[in-house]
């Protein structure tokens, strides 16, 4: 997959691994992996999501991979990279699998199964030193109902995907990721100049909903998710009309979006 002037330089597929993010970050620290490396696992025994949560699935039932990036834009703009990955992933899967996709802020990929939103994927970004960032993506592809780790999970197959061959799905996601990363980089990381902010807002099903944000430290904030700001933060308007930008936290959707 490497060669030419493309973003990707190396593709490695391993049978089983603890976590592709952990492995790729370790290689980056040791200087044994270069920017553009893609590490794919058929199975992860210690897959991780945000807040050190586990991500588990049967072997060969999904896409579990990480990529190593060396972003050119300044560090404060890097917070957009997991949102960029969400836009790329949702768009690629909608085209390649024929499934309507949605994004839940900040890093969940959703589908609708029997009228209910279900999580089919998650994104984890981890900074490595001053120059690199590892971006991990986990997607449930062919899992059946009895194989789901939790009732709120889903898979592309359960959402009626037109195809569950993982190779074309992976290639579609990587192409979209390269495209959006190129736009974002060319714009110096500006989410508006690269059209990333507009695309994320259009695909984010959190916006327009009543939500509860469970914040670090145990606090909670309830209100309406009204916008994603230029820093990638979710803006929540309280009942008093005060707008609170949230940079990190768990978001619970309290009601369907308007018009559903």
Q: Is residue 75 part of a domain?
A: yes
Residue position matching structure tokens 């197959």: 157
pLDDT tens across 233-243, in order?
999 999 888 99
User: Residue 39 half-sphere exposure, CB side, CA atoms within 13 Å?
Assistant: 27
* Domain ranges, residue 58: 10-202
Calpha distance 24→128 (Å, rounded): 10
Calpha distance 122→50 (Å, rounded): 8
Q: Is residue 32 part of a domain?
A: yes
Structure tokens at 250: 């768990």
Percent of the chain whose pLDDT exceeds 70: 92
Calpha distance 84→88 (Å, rounded): 6
Would you state the pLDDT for residue 44? 80
Q: Are residues 128 and 248 in the same domain?
A: no
Cβ atoms within 10 A of the Cβ of 2, count?
A: 13
Q: Are residues 63 and 133 in the same domain?
A: yes
Q: Is residue 77 part of a domain?
A: yes
CATH number at residue 112: 3.30.930.10
Going by the DSSP 8-state scheme, the letter that residue 141 receives in this structure is -
Q: Are residues 29 and 51 in the same domain?
A: yes
Q: Are residues 146 and 38 in the same domain?
A: yes
Q: Are residues 163 and 225 in the same domain?
A: no
pTM over 0.85: yes
Q: Is residue 87 part of a domain?
A: yes
Q: Is residue 5 part of a domain?
A: no
Q: Is residue 2 part of a domain?
A: no
CATH number at residue 218: 2.30.30.100
Per the CB < 8 A criterion, the answer to whether 211 and 252 are in contact is: yes
How many domains in the chain?
2
pLDDT tens across 184-202, in order?
999 999 999 999 999 999 9
Helical pair 196-203 and 166-186, crossing angle rounded to 10 deg? 140
pLDDT tens across 21-42, in order?
999 999 999 999 999 999 999 9
Going by the DSSP 8-state scheme, the letter that residue 103 receives in this structure is E
Q: Is the peptide bond before 106 cis (omega within 30 degrees of 0)?
A: yes
Q: Are residues 116 and 158 in the same domain?
A: yes
Q: What mean pLDDT is predicted for residues 141-157? A: 92
- Radius of gyration of the chain measured on its C-alpha atoms: 18
């Amino acid at each position: 997959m490497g060669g030419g002037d493309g973003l990707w330089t190396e593709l490695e597929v391993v049978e089983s691994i603890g976590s592709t993010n952990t492995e790729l970050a370790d290689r980056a620290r040791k200087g044994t992996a270069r920017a553009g490396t893609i590490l794919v696992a058929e199975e992860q025994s210690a897959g991780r999501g945000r807040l050190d949560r586990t991500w588990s699935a049967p072997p060969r039932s999904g896409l579990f991979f990480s990529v190593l990036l060396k972003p050119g834009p300044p560090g404060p703009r890097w917070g957009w990279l997991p949102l960029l990955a969400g836009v790329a992933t949702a768009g690629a899967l909608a085209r390649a699998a024929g499934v309507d996709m949605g994004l839940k802020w900040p890093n969940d990929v959703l589908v609708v199964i029997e009228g209910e939103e279900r999580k089919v994927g998650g994104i984890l970004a981890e900074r490595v030193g001053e120059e690199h960032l590892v971006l991990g993506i986990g997607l449930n592809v062919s899992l059946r109902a009895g194989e789901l780790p939790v009732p709120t999970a889903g898979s592309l197959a359960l959402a009626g995907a037109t195809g569950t061959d993982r190779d074309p799905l992976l290639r579609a996601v990587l192409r979209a990721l390269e495209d959006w990363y190129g736009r974002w980089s060319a714009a110096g990381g500006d989410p508006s100049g690269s059209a990333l902010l507009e695309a994320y807002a259009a695909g984010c099903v959190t916006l327009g909903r009543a939500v509860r944000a469970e914040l670090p430290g145990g606090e909670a904030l309830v209100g309406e998710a009204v916008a994603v700001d230029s820093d990638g933060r979710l803006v929540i308007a309280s009942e008093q009309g005060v707008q609170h930008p949230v940079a990190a936290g768990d978001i619970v959707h309290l009601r369907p979006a308007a018009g559903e």
